[in-house]
Structure 1
Amino acid sequence: MNVITIGSCLSDMTANRAVIRFGGKRLGNVVHHRSDQFYHYYVKADKKQIPRKCIEQSLNPIEINSDDPNYVSFEAMLNNQYEGIGQHRTVEKYDFFDVLQNEKVDVFILDNYVDMSGRLSYPKFEEYSESPVFLRKNDFENYDDFFTLGDKISLENSAFYFREIITFLKATQPTASIYFIHYPYNTYEKNPKRQERAKEFEALFKSNEATIIPAPFIKKQFQLENDPAHFHDSIYVALAGFIHFHYEIHSHQAEVQQLLKLGKKFNGPEDYFPIPEIAFNADDSWTAAIKIYEFENDQLFNFFFGQRGTRNKSIVRRKNRLEFRADDDQYVGSVEFLTKTLNEVVVVYDEGKFIFYNNGKSSDVIEHPTSAVFDAIGSGYNGKQHEQPCLIETAAIWKKALIPEEVAHCFDKSLMEKDNDLVGYWELGKEADFDEGKKDDT
């Protein structure tokens, strides 16, 4: 699963354990942002940040030599707030919002550590007096000359901003699962006010768009001495395991709900979507893409994009593999295709050579010259059998072989509309979107 975290080391370390143990990819990690700070700078975008150079040119940092493995330097704190708004595990520089717009995020993990204890610094520069930044007052010789330390955020405001952030994430990535972890507080035995504040927030905060994970109770054997904010590795592993398996069980439900809103349900062989015939010879090049969710069934085949009324020249699912049935009656393939999963299928044909793509995985190059005809979505074979119940949102055809970089973004409609080689595009939840006026005469 592709994961983004927003919060503290709790979200970060939980996601790290999940990816290491269960596979996946870290797409971003936003840290050193309180919920109101994140909301006003990026969600509502109604406040401007103080430029980083104003901070660096004004403050005189105190040199600190710390052997604490969790210590974060002044420079790193600013990096986390100004360079792509967060750390990234795999590349040096990235942009959080570019990732949100151009990558498929499966899981967001949030926690409330910063909101429970964080106090923002408000600049004394008049132009940026409402532009708080996350700093540690005692890190600087002259902090009071340029900044004022604000109060902790109220619990009501914290709950409001987290709900708004979750709504924003869900609107940007509708099929993603969002997990909110209440930060453990029983380890703060010497800080009863912190414990009471956390308990009150836990009782107050509700969200219909996120899975709320109650604050874990950390037993003594899993606590770290003199460090109430960090725990034994097994705590992060346990949280990672819960999130992974919860996601595996429930994630497809969100995908189906989204497809029901945007796509069309095909119930069987007689339920299909006709399109203007698009034909290719064996020495042509073409690409076909389709976003499809097939309901669970025990049938060997599903013919879902190609020529209706013939068992040839169609993209099919055979067993659990994606294939193309060629004009010589041979099955060509393949790459994994599963029921009960949203499949983003792309078949690239280049003058006799196939490559099959599905959900980021690809086949080897397979040489098998064949003609191809597309005149129906949701149907193939003989139009009387082998078409299984499924949901289809989008389908498209190009008169060229897309390269891998193009395949990675071929379901982005904004890019499709700029592509002169696109000869057919349909959003099946809406009326037919085939505009012959702006395509060629294929």
Structure 2
Amino acid sequence: MKVATYGSCLSRYSVNALQARSDVQLLGVVYHNRIDRFVDHYIDKTSTEPSSDLIEKMQLSDAGSARCNLMLDNQLTTRKLGHHAIRNQIGFINALDTDLDLIVLDNFVDIIAKLAAPKNSEPSLFLTFSDCENIHELFDIEKEYLNIDLAIQKWDRLISWIREKQPNTPIVFFNFPMQHHTNNALKLRSLEFAEKFKNDNCFIVPDCPVHPSLIDTPSHFRTMQYSMYAGVLEMVVKNKPYITSKTVNDADSVLRATIKKQ
């Protein structure tokens, strides 16, 4: 099974769990890209990536250098965009021009990220701000999160673009569950996205709280949670192209059964 993912560890780790059930070849993985940035840069091409001159001016802290370089790797085609933690594969964008069996997407970055906007008007980046010691010299930090309605518009554009390239491939979308998060703003953003987002070109995994026993960190879950998500992925692939209300109900039952356990 040939697979590509876009989003965060939610998509990636769910596919990793699927590898225990199926022969999975992961061809491309996008991390650390907010949806507006990705669509504008790589689909509509209304903006370009930040220049190498800007990147070279960033003074990285000793503690944050590795993390910051990883995040930059994931946001620049001159580095490793679409190749997060995979080797000898073609990457996410090139994978869309091959015959894929499954594409898995999630919106974690869109829920949590404020971008760093260069003062020289170059396009923004997603950074851990403390990793760059001269962040305020080079960048202005967004004061607001990405508007949910705008995020949904950009997601519609991304999924439509993928569907044009992959007319018969199952596309699965996870709205990142945040009901457990201590940051109420992020919790409300996730709930708003789940309430508003509809798309006939993909299978939207039913929004469901994660049981406390299955939470590792606010943004990562325990293995069993990803295994249950993998079961949903497997079910969607098995039922393609006939994704019916029964598929949605079955997925909902699988996930909601986990929150009843005490």
Per the TM superposition, whether the score is higher than 0.5 is yes
Paired residues of 2:163 and 2:201 also in contact (CA < 8 A): yes
Q: Distance in 2 between matches of 1:61 and 1:205?
A: 37
The equivalent residue for 1:10 is 10
Paired residues of 2:28 and 2:89 also in contact (CA < 8 A): no
| Structure 2 alignment gaps of length 5 or more | 244-262
Give the Å deviation of 1:95.
Answer: 4.4
Please say if 1:211 is aligned against 2:190. Answer: no
Paired residues of 1:222 and 1:235 also in contact (CA < 8 A): yes
Q: Distance in 2 between matches of 1:220 and 1:47?
A: 41
Give the Å deviation of 1:89.
Answer: 5.0
Q: Distance in 2 between matches of 1:10 and 1:57?
A: 31
* Aligned pair partner of 1:85 in 81, 85, 109: 81
Distance 1:211 1:174, change over 3 A: same
Please say if 1:244 is aligned against 2:198. Answer: no
The equivalent residue for 1:46 is 46
SS at match of 1:235: helix
Alignment of 1:261-340 (within 5 A): none
Q: Distance in 2 between matches of 1:123 and 1:148?
A: 6
The equivalent residue for 1:334 is none
* Aligned pair partner of 2:167 in 143, 162, 174: 174
Distance 1:97 1:197, change over 3 A: closer
Alignment of 1:30-179 (within 5 A): 30-51=30-51, 53-64=52-63, 73-82=67-76, 83-92=79-88, 94-101=90-97, 103-126=98-121, 128=122, 131-150=123-142, 151-179=144-172
Paired residues of 1:84 and 1:93 also in contact (CA < 8 A): no
Give the Å deviation of 1:54.
Answer: 2.2
| Structure 1 alignment gaps of length 5 or more | 67-71, 255-442
Q: Distance in 1 between matches of 2:206 and 2:219?
A: 16
Give the Å deviation of 1:84.
Answer: 4.3
Paired residues of 1:26 and 1:88 also in contact (CA < 8 A): no
CA distances 1:276-324 after superposition (whole Å, capped 9, x unpaired): xxxxxxxxxxxxxxxxxxxxxxxxxxxxxxxxxxxxxxxxxxxxxxxxx
CA distances 1:78-108 after superposition (whole Å, capped 9, x unpaired): 111113422255425644333222x211111
Distance 1:86 1:207, change over 3 A: same
More strand by share: 1
> TM-score scaled by structure 1?
0.52
Give the Å deviation of 1:213.
Answer: 0.8
Bigger radius of gyration: 1
- Deviating beyond 6 angstroms after TM superposition, the runs of 4 or more aligned structure 1 residues are none
Distance 1:56 1:50, change over 3 A: closer
CA distances 1:358-400 after superposition (whole Å, capped 9, x unpaired): xxxxxxxxxxxxxxxxxxxxxxxxxxxxxxxxxxxxxxxxxxx
Q: Distance in 1 between matches of 2:88 and 2:73?
A: 11
Distance 1:58 1:35, change over 3 A: same
Q: Distance in 1 between matches of 2:168 and 2:178?
A: 31
* Aligned pair partner of 2:185 in 193, 206, 214: 193
Aligned residues: 240
Paired residues of 1:32 and 1:80 also in contact (CA < 8 A): yes
Give the Å deviation of 1:230.
Answer: 1.0
Q: Distance in 1 between matches of 2:50 and 2:222?
A: 38
Q: Distance in 2 between matches of 1:65 and 1:148?
A: 19
More helix by share: 2
Q: Distance in 2 between matches of 1:23 and 1:161?
A: 32
The equivalent residue for 1:234 is 224
SS at match of 1:148: strand
Give the Å deviation of 1:132.
Answer: 1.1
